[in-house]
Amino acid sequence: MIQLNAYLTLVAATIVLLLGTVLVRHIGFLRNNHIPEAVAGGFIVAIALLVLSETTGISFGFDGSLQTMLMIVFFTSIGLSADFSRLIQGGKPLVIFVIAVSAMIVVQNIVGMGLAVALGQNPFYGLIAGSITLTGGHGNGAAWGAVLAEKYGLEGAVELAMACATFGLVLGGLIGGPVARHLLKKVKQPKNEAEYEVQEAFEEPTAKRKVNTASITETVGMLAISISVGSYLDVLTKDTIMQMPTFVWCLFSGVILRNIVTHVFRRQVSDETIDVLGNVALSFFLAMALMSLKLAQLAGLAAPILIIIAIQTVVMALFAIYVTFRVMGSNYDAIVMSAGHCGFGLGATPTAIANMQAITKVFGPSHKAFLIVPMVGAFFVDISNSALIKIFIEIGSKLGG
């Protein structure tokens, strides 16, 4: 095992992003289906590392602390970009999207647990291959996997959760583009992005921004304050009814700080700088997450779990096409939100953002999608998912879990 420290892990992530950029630029399938660069590059590197390990016995380990921090920085930047005046604009569509996402959580758990029972497995395995890891992601999977292992004696729960979450992360990035491509045939495509003068945060990551030393210094300071407060709130609420993932508290702290600075102190915040730093953190987080895939672990999953994950992927795509797209308005904004829903419905919110960016940088901005999806994916979905998981655990215990 060759263990790379944080600096070398960052170098490796940079190589992954450069490789992904080249692949997407030169391979029509990736480009036409809007596969994010980090997904393309990360998956190829993960395969290469698996082959290297199997043929030579040499394997690589990557420092995970930087990846965690980048994820927190990204979510905090979303909080800092959330002006209350914009959140109010979310209004009814925000509520509808929360309901749609919650409905998908219920569907995932019914499908997962139903298939597990039908295949002769413990229903809790289906719950792990349901919203615990697919909507919840790695952090949620580790937390609930530990609960199922300790309280219900489910063997290998944490390891299985990590494998399912990893698989979901890849699949969430892979199906978002094709789903959007299918839906784009149903609506009139928007204007070319070059015709748009307004460039909202996270919507056009390749656009030029007005960033200077002062704005970077101020934004880094706001990020540091928000992360510090969020981390303190995380410790304060641990093992209480208010317990949530650390990044949620950091996002929440960012929202509060942003609006205090904007509406109390009447100081203009540099959205351009928040945009740049947030997108940099997002790109490197995805690259690190994907290049760290343990494909050997995924290959070792039992056939029933692979079947469940495969069917969950099809169900997510169908739900995005026939439910999310329709309830969100059957328009271009709905297409971008459907691609985003595929991202965090199977993987994580950063994957959702990457999916949406892959669409908007080709077909034009979707302010509505980038207003609603990050807040739902990073905040509301965790609350809804946790409540529903508790209900399904009770159901699973009665089914023999």
Q: Is residue 72 part of a domain?
A: no
Placement of tokens 């960016």 in the chain = 357
Residue with tokens 């839906």: 183
Whole-angstrom CA distances from 3 to 56, 60, 61 are 16, 6, 4
Query: Distance of alpha carbon 178 from its chain centroid, rounded?
Result: 17
Query: What is the chain's percent helix, strand, coil content, to nearest 5?
Result: 75, 0, 20
Instruction: Say whether 101 sits in a helix, a strand or coil.
Output: helix
Determine which helix (DSSP H) or strand (DSSP E) holds 4, and give its type and residue range.
strand 2-4
189, part of any domain: yes
* Cα–Cα distance measured from residue 215 to residue 274, given in angstroms and rounded to the nearest whole number: 9
Write out the residue range of the structural domain in which residue 133 sits.
2-64+92-212+298-398
Contacts of 261 (CB under 8 A, 6+ apart): 222, 267, 269
Domain assignment present for 345: yes
Sign of CA dihedral 310, 312, 315, 316: negative
Among 244, 250, 236, 190, which Cα is nearest to 383's? 244
331: helix, strand or coil? coil
> Is 293 a member of any domain?
no
How many domains does the chain fold into?
1
pLDDT of residue 198: 35
Question: d(Cα 244, Cα 240) in Å, to the nearest integer?
Answer: 9
Query: Does the residue 289 lie in any domain?
Result: no
The whole-angstrom distance between residue 353's C-alpha and the CA centroid of its chain comes to 7
Domain-embedded: residue 326: yes
End-to-end CA, the chain: 37
One-letter identity of residue 286? L
DSSP letter for each residue of 240-284: STT---HHHHHHHHHHHHHHIIIIIS-----HHHHHHHHHHHHHH
Asked if residue 50 belongs to a domain, the reply is yes
Runs of H (alpha helix) within 119-208 = 123-127, 137-152, 157-184
pLDDT, one tens digit per residue, over 134-189 is: 998 776 777 788 788 888 888 778 778 877 887 888 888 889 989 999 998 877 66
pTM of the model: 0.68
| Gap between the Cα atoms of 54 and 61, Å rounded | 15
Give 286: exposed, middle or buried? Use CB within 10 Å, 0-12, 13-18, 19+.
Answer: buried
Closest CA relative to residue 234, chosen from 224, 243, 226: 243
Q: Say if 33 falls within a structural domain.
A: yes
Note the pLDDT of residue 200: 44
340 vs 369: CA distance, rounded Å: 8
Q: Enumerate long-range contacts of 377-380, CB under 8 Å, 24 or more apart.
A: 377/101, 377/340, 377/343, 377/344, 377/349, 377/352, 378/75, 378/78, 378/247, 378/248, 378/251, 378/349, 379/248, 379/251, 379/252, 380/98, 380/101
Mean pLDDT by 10 residues, the chain (401 residues): 89 94 87 72 87 88 86 85 70 89 96 92 92 83 80 80 81 90 79 41 54 92 96 89 77 90 90 87 83 68 84 96 94 93 86 87 84 78 82 84 60
